Structure 1
């Protein structure tokens, strides 16, 4: 069975929308899953710190922007230079997401081994290592693959 050539783009859009919905849910006051984030994030969410909540709303909007960026890669009538810039932006954003998730995974793992000290519960450490940091890395991989697909589209249009 041959996978659809734009699968990484569709999965990246789905990842971005899911991530945006989580941010909007938490910004609106939802608390399911917040404890799994741990540390200062959990404390500020529990306090409903207005500055922090504003940041959570903004991150939701940025995540929606990521979904729009990926959707633009599906548009066939886009100028080649713009498609190239969009593709490059997706790849760079994806690399940063992978590095962010990997960096957090490493430091949180070290905290879990008591090599580093973080103000984070064992519960949060577990869920950050099982869900959140791999989620960032998966999203990054999807953005890199989607960006590569954008470049392939340019090459195949000649």
Structure 2
């Protein structure tokens, strides 16, 4: 397994930013919350205790991606560990990319009135220009951090 240290570094940075957003919102920050739109924005304005707990847990789960990428920096002597890391990182990359891509498609379809979403134009603009591409870029970083 070959490692692309640039992609690993970019992926780690992306993951820290990604987790940091959840921690910021869990602490009551609202910058960027409106850009998510819909029910998430409504919950962010008047958060319940369970919503805050979910935000903290989400941030911690996101940090597991940092741990995953940092495991790539170790030269493992057992080939099975290298294979496992290779496939897990590739799968995570594909899933991150697909999540952003499919959200991008469904939000775009809602703009053509094919699907019905409860998103205001402000949130639609941010989701299509930032959030969904952000997910896809993270997927690219993960996916290309390793190769055969």
TM range (shorter): over 0.9
Cα distance change of structure 1 residues 73 and 122 upon mapping to structure 2, 3 Å threshold:
same
Q: What is the correspondence of 1:20-31 to structure 2 with a 5 Å cutoff? A: 20-31=19-30
Q: Counterparts of 1:19 and 1:31 in 2: how far apart (Å)? A: 15
Stretch of structure 1 that moved more, 119-128 or 50-59: 50-59
Q: How many residues align?
A: 146
* TM-score, length basis structure 2: 0.92
* TM-score, length basis structure 1: 0.87
Q: Counterparts of 1:12 and 1:78 in 2: how far apart (Å)? A: 24
Q: Counterparts of 2:134 and 2:66 in 1: how far apart (Å)? A: 16
Q: Counterparts of 1:15 and 1:56 in 2: how far apart (Å)? A: 18
Provide the secondary structure at the position in 2 that maps to 1:29. Answer: coil
Q: Counterparts of 1:90 and 1:47 in 2: how far apart (Å)? A: 36
1:134 aligns to what?
Answer: 133
Higher relative contact order (CA 8 A, sep 6+): 2
2:89 aligns to what?
Answer: 90
CA contact (8 A) 2:16 2:63 kept: yes
CA contact (8 A) 2:16 2:66 kept: yes
Give 1:61 shift: 0.6
Give 1:83 shift: 2.2
2:67 aligns to what?
Answer: 68
Stretch of structure 1 that moved more, 80-89 or 9-18: 80-89
CA contact (8 A) 1:98 1:141 kept: yes
